[in-house]
Chains A and B, each alone.
Chain A
Amino acid sequence: MDEFIRFEHLGQRFDLSEPLLARLIYRRPKKFLDAVDDVSFSIERGQTYALVGESGSGKSTIARMAVGLLLPSTGKVLIDGHDLHDRSRTEAEHRRIRQRLQMIFQSPFASLNPRWRVGSILAEPLRVFGLVEDRAAELGRVHELLDQVGLSASDARRFPHEFSGGQRQRISIARALASNPDFIVCDEPTSALDVSVQAQVLNLLKQLQRDLGLTYLFITHDLAVVRVMAHRIGVLKSGKLVEEQATAELIESPQSDYTKMLIRSAPRIGSIQARTGMSQA
């Protein structure tokens, strides 16, 4: 199996100090928060890696570093052996790498610009990366993307507020697919959705992974979702990776106390499978 993305000793330290003057007057030291502390793991091409953990465990911070939205304080993100944050690279090279990385966000309500028509939202990455020759090709690609996520071509003329949460998440997925990425970070893509709609979106993501050979980094706190989606699972606690195993092993025989506690406190395990008849990943 070949490795697609590798996180090496990744760390993110946030400066939470008070302003300089307040520190001098009250003689307070500088305060830091290690949101992510020395985290290393890698994801195989075409597989799904799930990061689970409670709120504030650093999941989303890792997600943002994985796509280059946030610069790591320490460590590296290697994509096919190339350092994502290498400053010596030219803008054109950065653009090529960015094109391969995409993200699906948590809130289907905040992730689409309310003043833009769906067609423009989907066309933007196409234009920025110069993937289409003219208007006709652009429109064709937008329709193709909408079709790929189970929406109709006429939806391109509508505004985001005319869609339901699940449909918006489909639009969000279509936007992520627009630049033909290899790797998509899914930051709790179903946590804001109705349970019945969750399964549909998860099914779509699985199908796209099969068809397009996508690699996913799946961020979630929902172990039921993880069981359906992930090949491997990493458990994150206070910025540290406490355990990492293949999905079945982790669920069957968790090693750390924290993982056991997480599994015990997830009442809905297996329930998604029962609803959709989906097999385990």
Chain B
Amino acid sequence: MNGERGAWQRFLASDFFYDFKRSPVTLVSFVIVVTLILLAILADLVAPTNPFDPASLNLMNGFTPPMEPNAFTGETFLFGTDDQGRDLLSAIIYGLRVSLFVGLTAVILAMVLGVSLGLLAGYRGGWIDSLIMRIADIQMTFPSILIAVLIFGVARGLLPPDLRDELAISVLIIAIGLSEWVPFARTVRGTTMVEKEKEYVQAARLIGLGSGQIMLRHILPNVLSPVLVIATITLALAIIAEATLSFLGVGAPPTEPSLGTLIRIGQDFLFSGEWWILLFPSVTLLALALSVNLLGDWLRDTLNPRLK
């Protein structure tokens, strides 16, 4: 049998794909997200200059407005330049890479943590369940950005000063990941409590499988579709959280600017007339976060049979 081709054709004929084709908003969001992700991955090939390389910067190019030749060097930049003479288009493409990388890895961390704790709480019940869910409740009473700032601050305090900039991105990922695990855990716990009563789980217990194997092999595949929806929506949250932290100056270091860092830099020059330094990174962030969110909403509606 031609498995690969069969699967692809089944996908094209599925309700899932039909729904997708019929929603123009989803199509546009999908194209935007894919374009931005491709730009981020191919940054080295696409970007006109490398904004992280100080040797390529020419201070004389500073504050060049978009699409106008620079008064001294005569160079033209599509999105203009910042105070250091850095090409904004390149800075945005590379910033997108940092933002997406931090967002995706933070979501993966939150997902692994939340799904494991949710499975454990739902399957075991009793005091383990109470402990995990009370921690989740307590964490939910604080805004997640506050949790992230707290974790970030503590981690920086513990790290030796010469490693701080180097590890800033990793700390950022951990901080955002730890602040977003609760929705995963809650959803997975609820679904697990339903699934574990089903007879296929009894059948697995009957042949003597341990709790770990039952959770991973039997229950996990059956709780994953809501997880996919939450992961998409959390991705938008994580990207915004990263931008917020970087905007506040506690996130990505200035040597590796993310979109949030660029917006912070741009904000300094807004009132002196250099509007483009703020505008372009902000629009990119908005397009990214909004598209991811709209995709998440569509996914939630499509995968939830009760909303049809």
Contacts and interface: CB of A to CB of B under 8 A. Distances in A.
Contact of B199 (A94, A105, A179): A105
Interface string A100-117: 011101110011111110
Given A110-B199, A111-B199, A111-B200, A103 B222 contact: no
Contact of B208 (A94, A111, A114): A94
B200 A112 contact: yes
* Most chain A CB neighbours (cut-off 10 Å) among B199, B202, B204: B199
A110 B202 CA distance: 10
B10 to A, nearest CB: 12
B208 A95 contact: yes
Nearest to A129: B207
A199 to B, nearest CB: 23
A69 interface: yes
A111 B200 CA distance: 4
B222 A179 contact: no
A125 interface: yes
A98 B207 contact: yes
A107 B206 CA distance: 16
Main secondary structure of the interface of B (DSSP, over half): helix
B221 A103 contact: no
A128 B208 contact: yes
A266 B266 CA distance: 82
A119 to B, nearest CB: 14
Interface string B57-75: 0000000000000000000
A265 to B, nearest CB: 28
Interface in B111-140: none
Contacts of B205: 69
Nearest to A94: B208
A174 to B, nearest CB: 12
A83 B209 CA distance: 21
Interface residues of B, number: 14
A138 to B, nearest CB: 15
A144 B227 CA distance: 38
Interface string A24-67: 00000000000000000000000000000000000000000001
Given A113-B218, A113-B222, A125 B207 contact: yes
Interface string B206-217: 111100000000
B206 A98 contact: yes
B90 to A, nearest CB: 45
B21 interface: no
A175 interface: yes
A125 B221 CA distance: 19
* Most chain B CB neighbours (cut-off 10 Å) among A95, A101, A102, A124: A124
Contacts of A68: 206
Interface string A202-216: 000000000000000
Contacts of B208: 94-95, 98, 128
A67 B200 contact: no
A67 B208 CA distance: 11
B203 interface: yes
Contacts of B198: 110-111
* Most chain A CB neighbours (cut-off 10 Å) among B202, B205, B207: B207
B197 to A, nearest CB: 8
Contacts of A101: 206
8 contacts: A98-B208, A111-B200, A111-B203, A112-B200, A113-B200, A114-B222, A128-B209, A172-B203
Given A102-B206, A105-B199, A175-B203, 18 more contacts: A67-B206, A69-B205, A94-B208, A95-B208, A98-B207, A99-B207, A101-B206, A103-B206, A105-B202, A106-B199, A110-B199, A110-B200, A113-B200, A113-B221, A114-B222, A125-B207, A172-B203, A179-B207
- Interface pairs A-B: 3 shortest CB-CB: A111-B199, A105-B199, A115-B221
